[in-house]
Structure 1
Amino acid sequence: MPKKMIKRWLPDHHTIKSNKHLQIFGDVLHDANLWHLNRRSVSKAFAVGLFFAFVPVPFQMILAAGMAILVHSNLPLSVALVWLSNPITIPPIFYGCYKLGTVLMGVPPQDFAFELSVEWLTTSLSAVAGPFLLGCAVCAVFFSIAGYFTINSIWRFSVASNWRKRKHR
């Protein structure tokens, strides 16, 4: 069952409540509904986490936590799913977003070499920002919707399967 599998992977809620970066949410973190694992909260958590995994900002986890609180999804799962875009996976994910953006905008991809300097950020980044941000937005919306409906379907199938097994016993 998905609930048991997800529960094994999630950290203890006391660990998350004591995280110094999440203290900005105050007593809202003590709402028990943010920690329950049910079909709706997990489906919403996948939507929130996958959406913010494609948002190109350095504080994705805080944004995901805030949105999880607003939509009453499972908070730890929402925050954990943001880590699909980690330092190892960010380059291929964001390059794919850029390529998708160029296709959608109908512009040819530009060759650029990454350089960690203010000059590069002001000149080269402005040339690729439009396609990149469009690709990120499209991927964020697509994967959050796909994640929501996929997890919802898996959960329903699992529950129905368990009911059938129980009925046959």
Structure 2
Amino acid sequence: MPRRFLQRYMPKPDTLRRQRSLRFIAPLIADPGLWLLTRRSVANAFSVGLFCAMLPIPFQMVVAALGARFSRCNLALSVGLVWITNPLTMPVIFYFNYRIGTFLLEAPVREAPSRISTRWIAEQMHDIMPPLMLGSLISAVLLAIVANIVIRLIWRWHVSHHWKRRRLKRRQRRARIESEFDD
């Protein structure tokens, strides 16, 4: 994984510490271990962030920050990845999770009315929540595991590819120097 690419888009801890609205979490932000970009910290941050993104709970970013603190992974990545479930993607993702839950529980799928209202959701919540929670938990665990493995493999491939390029450049440089001495 290109460390420089990730560092370019990550916020700086000092900038965040100076913001008044974030002073209450200054001890969390001050921990330098939560800002490292290593294969392990990035892969675990993807796992934590995507796991929290799939859960239909409020304050997903807070849960992701606590998960990052607990698992000692990159804080900014884990909190930022929660935004995969934003107001545009949330209905699609949670409906998919609901369908997974109804399949696993062998429950009937509730058909939505032509106009969805908060009243209809409140009335159906008792029937909707068990499949939604189960489907969300299953997809969160699977997505976290797959993301962790994929990020570690991509990181490993990137490092290996970089080392091969360096080795090739070294050989070319050595061959050029040897050809100059032979002339």
**Fold shared by both chains (TM-score > 0.5):** yes
Mapped pair 1:59 → 2:78:
no
- Aligned partner of 1:77 in structure 2 is 77
Correspondence for 1:33: 33
- Cα distance in 2 for partners of 1:19, 1:46 equals 25
Worse-superposed segment, 77-86 or 13-22: 13-22
* CA-CA distance at 1:15 after TM superposition: 3.6
Residues 22 and 62, structure 1, Cα contact 8 Å, conserved in 2: no
Matched ranges for 1:44-123 at <5 A: 44-113=44-113, 114-117=116-119, 120-123=120-123
Query: Residue 107 of structure 1: CA displacement?
Result: 1.6
**8 Å CA contact retained: 1:61, 1:82:** yes
Q: Which amino acid aligns with 1:115?
A: S
CA distance in 1 between counterparts of 2:57 and 2:33 reads: 27
> Which residue identity does 2:104 align to in structure 1?
L
Per-residue deviation, residues 106-154 of structure 1 (Å, max 9, x unmatched): 122111343124xx45421111111111110001101011111110110
Letter of the aligned partner of 2:92 in structure 1?
A: P
% identical equivalent positions = 38
Count of residues paired in the alignment: 167
Q: Is the 8 A contact 2:13 2:29 kept in 1?
A: no
Q: When the two structures are superposed, what TM-score results if normalisation uses the length of structure 2? A: 0.84
**CA offset digits 1:87-121 (Å, max 9, x no partner):** 0100100000001111111122111343124xx45
Query: Could you list the runs of 4 or more consecutive aligned residues of structure 1 that deviate by over 4 angstroms after TM superposition?
Result: 18-24
- CA gap 1:8/1:153 in 2 versus in 1, 3 angstroms: same
User: C-alpha displacement at 1:4, in angstroms?
Assistant: 1.9
RMSD between superposed Cα atoms in Å: 1.7
Distance in 1 between the 2:67 and 2:144 partners? Answer: 13
What amino acid is the match of 2:138?
Answer: V
Conserved 8 A contact 1:112-1:124:
no
Q: Distance in 1 between matches of 2:66 and 2:22?
A: 9
TM-score by length of 1: 0.91
